Amino acid sequence: MNPFAPQAVNGINPTGDADYVDVDFTYVYDTVPPLALLEVRRDQTVPLNNDADFVLRAIHWTQPDVAMLGIFRVRFSDSQGYYLSNALILEGNISNQPYAPTPVMPEIVFPRGGAIGLDIQNTDPANPSLVQICFRGVKRYRITK
pLDDT in tens, 41-85: 999 999 999 999 999 999 999 887 766 777 899 999 998 889 999
Nearest to 109 by CA among 75, 69, 74, 80: 80
What pTM, to 2 d.p., does this model score?
0.85
pLDDT band at 144 (very low <50, low <70, confident <90, very high): confident
What SS3 state is found at 25? strand
CATH of domain 31-142: 2.60.120
**Contact (CB, 8 A) for 105 and 91:** no
Which amino acid is it at 90?
A: L
Q: 64 and 142 in contact (C-beta within 8 Å)? A: no
**Rounded percentage of the chain residues whose pLDDT exceeds 70:** 86
Round to whole Å and give the CA distance between 114 and 54.
9
Domain boundaries, the chain: 31-142
**CA distances in angstroms from 55 to 91, 96, 128, 143, listed in the order given:** 22, 20, 32, 16
